Amino acid sequence: MDKSALKSEFLGYFGGNASGIRIFTSPGRVNLIGEHTDYNGGFVFPAALTLATTVLARPRADRKLRLVATDLKIVVEADLEDLQAGRGLKWGNYQLGVADELQKAGYPLVGCDLLYDDKVPLASGLSSSAAIEVATAYALVSLGAGKPIAIDPVKMAKISQTAEHNFVGVMCGIMDQFASAMGKKDHAIFLDCRTLDYEWVPLVMEGVSIVIANTNKKRSLGEGKYNERRSECEQGLEILKQALPAATCLRDVTAAEFEEHGQLIADPVVRNRVAHVVYEDDRVLRSVEALKSGDLVLFGQLMNQSHDSLRDLYEVTGKELDALVDAFRKVDGVIGARMTGAGFGGCAVALVRNEALEACEREVGAAYRAAIGHDATFYVSDVGDGAREVTA
């Protein structure tokens, strides 16, 4: 992050001087395992990345919000008294949704100018939306308070999730926002999405790196099948309640219980959706224990099983993600690979031995290009901290 260059760009759009500018950042995330379990009350295992959204913010004397992104160059303006007018924006609706929910929650907000510098690839499955939401929440709450204050990261995660539900129309789970707010350097987060109990688990992977490969197929959850999958899970849960009346979410259904009662779900598609969630929760629990004991081989096997389930049972991978994962698995030195994020495009994640990194990118890149016709983009990202103010 070049703070001086960003401040200069900010002043180019909004004028004035740099003395009142404050800087906030919030990261994207990679989910190591536990996909489409969060909105079913289940377990996930994400880690915050060093790829992040940075926001420069300065208060205004009126009630206007003015937003611009370094890559879009278009200033969006909204009024804190009429945020609903921004619902149809192609860019800016996530930020305005957060402002709307913060006001509903009683946070005092002030008008401000905001410059966004997004390093999380958009529509990649690395949760650029959560990074934007949480960074916005930190900036607006801090400027509204008028001074640096202690901010509850879990509250900011919840408000950001609600904004995405109510303003954007995507019924996402809590994982993305929680990971963006609560990330810790060199740790993954073992999160219980029902209770929000969590544990930071050290990522001790000597000689092994996390490699992320972007299909460069952009996706939109609102236009895709995300809400449909959520509805199918809810249908399956209601049917299973005939035999398991105490179940409040699919997380409450054990693998043994599903094997005993799963045939109650007559629709094979709905049954497959439920099967994925039930067994994916079990894979998360086993993965956390594998990582704690240093068994990266087992962890990689569970990653592979996760992708296969997302492909065959949940049907959210698609040819691009499958091509990437298939190519990863053919390279010596790759321990495991799977899609990460909601799917329908976006990214795959792999555990790769360091001596194989160069060959991995070369061979996977060539195989993907041959199969799909365009290039993938590769990132070897560190695991970083969550949302914070960079400077006062």
Tally the residues of the chain: 392
Sign of CA pseudo-dihedral 174, 176, 181, 185 = positive
| Rounded distance between C-alpha atoms, residue 211 and residue 352, angstroms | 7
Q: Rounded to a whole number, what is the distance in angstroms from the first to the last CA of the chain?
A: 16
CB 41 within 8 A of CB 57: no
Phi, psi torsion values for 388, nearest 5 degrees: -170, 165
Strand extents, DSSP E, the chain? 22-31, 43-44, 46-59, 64-69, 76-79, 112-118, 187-192, 198-202, 208-214, 334-340, 347-353, 377-380, 388-391
| Rounded distance between C-alpha atoms, residue 371 and residue 229, angstroms | 27
Closest-CA residue to 212 (of 378, 34, 335, 334): 378
| Rounded distance between C-alpha atoms, residue 232 and residue 288, angstroms | 28
| Rounded distance between C-alpha atoms, residue 151 and residue 140, angstroms | 11
Query: Of these residues, 100, 113, 176, 252, which one is catalytic?
Result: 176
3-state secondary structure of 64: strand
Phi, psi torsion values for 337, nearest 5 degrees: -150, 145
| Run of H or E including 311 | helix 296-312
204: amino acid identity, one letter: V
Is 176 annotated in the active site? yes
| Rounded distance between C-alpha atoms, residue 107 and residue 124, angstroms | 31
98: amino acid identity, one letter: V
Strand partners, 22: 57
Closest-CA residue to 21 (of 133, 114, 138, 148): 114
| Rounded distance between C-alpha atoms, residue 64 and residue 112, angstroms | 6
| Rounded distance between C-alpha atoms, residue 170 and residue 151, angstroms | 25
β pairing state of 112-118 and 64-69: parallel
DSSP string across 252-296: GS-HHHHHHHGGG---HHHHHHHHHHHHHHHHHHHHHHHHHTT-H
**Mind telling me the catalytic residues?**
176
